[in-house]
Amino acid sequence: MKIYTYSQAREKLADILEESKSEEVVIRRRKGDMFSISPKSTRRRSPFDVPGLRKGITRKEILEAIRVQEAGVTNHCSGRLIAVPDLFRYPLFHLKSITLNVD
């Protein structure tokens, strides 16, 4: 890490910027304020560029789970549409004949 005064930084700004690519550069003002210079990444990143999770789930299984969640589950006994998370709220005898509404 190299520390430069404000005056030195003004005189050698181009050199300091090049130097900041390889190591940390700090500029110190008279009052003691310190500022660190670091290069900004040139690679543009998408907000959707996130690290993946290794869960052992196939693409087909993910799409099927999405379809089931969007479609819900129909209980033919009463004709109601039941969302997948709500299945666990009902006793099993109410859900004897259920089918998935996947169109």
Domains belonging to the chain, first-starting first, are 2-37 (3.40.1620.10), 59-100 (no CATH)
What would the mean pLDDT of 22-43 be, rounded to a whole number? 87
Which strands, in side-by-side order, build the sheet including 2-5?
A: 2-5, 25-28, 34-37
pLDDT tens readout for residues 14-26 = 999 999 888 889 9
Confidence of residue 77 (pLDDT cuts 50, 70, 90): very low
pLDDT tens readout for residues 42-65 = 677 787 877 777 778 788 888 887
Distance CA 14, CA 99 (A): 69
- Sequence length of the chain is 103
Q: What is the pLDDT of residue 39?
A: 82
